[in-house]
Every structure is written in structure tokens, then in C-alpha cells.
Amino acid sequence: MKSITLKILFLIYSNLLFSQSKSEELNLTTDSDTVYWNRIQNEKIKKYNLGFNESKKDELFFRFWTHGNCIEITKRDTLIIGKSIYFVDEVDDFSKNNFVKTFDLKKSVCEKILNLIDSCKVNTIPSDKFIKGWQQGFDGTTYIFENKTKTEYSFKNYWTPTSQENLEVAKKIQNFVDKLRRICDSENLSKQFTKEIPFRSYTYNGSSVIVSRIMTTDEYKKYLKEKRKMKKHND
């Protein structure tokens, strides 16, 4: 019964995310968890128009998700491509704008990420609800790993590995994430992205934190003027 349920969930998920035929045979790994995050991820992909373009020809793809960021690696024969995508929502009473920027990753970076996935054996770690002793909470950071090969697909999430005391598997997950970010130069990419955000106040998807940019007096006056125009237009 569990196997049938997982297959049904995957067929629903593949229709939304992969745009693949229901007849395509892919096994959802039994250590995956798509019940809740399936809906969340598909809403996110649609909202930010992330433009994923999976193909049956792909030998594999891997995606890492966290608040406001997705790192994707795709391998097709000798072709290896990757990108790191950042996205935020404007915090404003008069608009629901968002800002998205994609950074293409060099082939050498993509190869390092694939080697990291293999060396850390991250795809062998089950989703956190299958890990005995893994605690859940409302704050913190959730990491999501998607991995697809020619024969199977996995979807796993991990809530705040740094809060899991005495769990070696949590340390492995966090170690992988830290190395992945270093390889992608995420710190510098994030800084570059932040400089280009056009909003005064914004938040990262899935985060309760609101970031506000300091403005000069002239900038703030201009901002208020634009918002008054927007409010008048919407009234």
C-alpha cells in the first residue's frame, strides 16, 4: 500500500514539476518525503518562473534548495551545466513583486559539485522524518535535496541540521551544504544579488526575516512618491 501511495504522489509531482508523461517509469525512492513539500516547491517554481527544463535524456540532475536560493546541476552525456538562482519577495502593502537572478556555474564548478555528491554519499541519506531522533521546529532553515537519475527520483528535506544534537547524520548534511556553498562561491554570489535587489524591504521565500535597505533622504522621498502613485492607481 505504501509503495502504491508513493507512486501516485510521484505521478502527481512529475506532472507539475517535470512536465513528463504519466507513462514514464521512474521509481520514487522509499526514503523520500513529498507529501508536504511537493505543493510548496511547485508553488515556488511557478511563482518565480524558474524555467526548469528537465529531459528524459538527462543522465541526472540534482537540486539543492534553501531560503531564497536553488542550486541545480544537470548532466546529459558529456554536457554538464549548472546554475545558482536567488529570489526574494518585496515587502510592501501595495505590490507583490519579486526579484529573481540566475548565475550560471562554470563546468569545473559543476564537476566539483558532482564529485562532492559522490564523496559525501548525500543521496544515501533518507529524508529527516525517517531518521530516528531528528527534531522538528517552526523556525530555523530547511534544506531540500532533489536527485533524479534515469531510473529513479528522490525528494528529501532536512530541518536545521545544526539543531540536531548528537546526530552524526545531521553533521554530514551540514558539512555537505557548507562545502557546496564554498564550491559555488555562494557568499559572493549572494552579495552580488543583494546589491541588485530593487526593493526597500524584502524577504527570502520561506523565511520570517524582513530585510530593509537604508536610504538617503532623497531616495526615501522618491520611494514614498512612487508608492503614493501606486496607491492612487490601485484605489
- pLDDT(203) > 60: yes
What is the structure's pLDDT at 2?
44
- Residue among 109, 130, 131, 116 at smallest CA distance from 185: 109
State the Cα–Cα distance between residues 43 and 35, nearest whole angstrom.
14
- pLDDT(213) > 50: yes
- pLDDT(201) > 60: yes
Cell numbers representing residue 71 in the block: 542550486
3-class SS of residue 153: strand
Q: What is the dihedral of CA 88, 93, 97, 100, to 10 degrees?
A: -10
- In this prediction the pTM is 0.82
Express each pLDDT in 9-62 by its tens digit: 444 444 444 434 333 457 889 999 877 777 788 888 888 988 777 666 778 899
Express each pLDDT in 130-184 by its tens digit: 999 999 988 889 999 999 998 899 999 999 999 998 999 999 999 999 999 999 9
- Residue among 150, 81, 161, 157 at smallest CA distance from 114: 81
What is the structure's pLDDT at 101?
97
3-class SS of residue 37: helix
In the predicted model, what is the mean pLDDT of the chain? Answer: 84
Cell numbers representing residue 116 in the block: 562532492
What is the structure's pLDDT at 227?
74
Q: Return the percentage of the chain with pLDDT > 90, whole number.
A: 52
What is the structure's pLDDT at 146?
94
What is the structure's pLDDT at 215?
80
b/e 5-42 (16+ beta carbons within 10 angstroms → b): ebeebbbebbeebbeeeeeeebebbebbbbeebbeebe
Q: Is the model more confident about 117 or about 215?
A: 117
Residue 165: Cβ within 10 Å count: 8
The ranges assigned to domains in the chain are 2-234
State the Cα–Cα distance between residues 4 and 67, nearest whole angstrom.
32
Cell numbers representing residue 49 in the block: 518562473
Model confidence at 3, in pLDDT bands (50, 70, 90)?
very low
- Residue among 182, 73, 195 at smallest CA distance from 123: 73
Cell numbers representing residue 215 in the block: 536610504
* Residue 212 near residue 103, CB atoms below 8 Å: no
Write down the residue that cell numbers 518565480 correspond to: 48
What is the structure's pLDDT at 231?
65
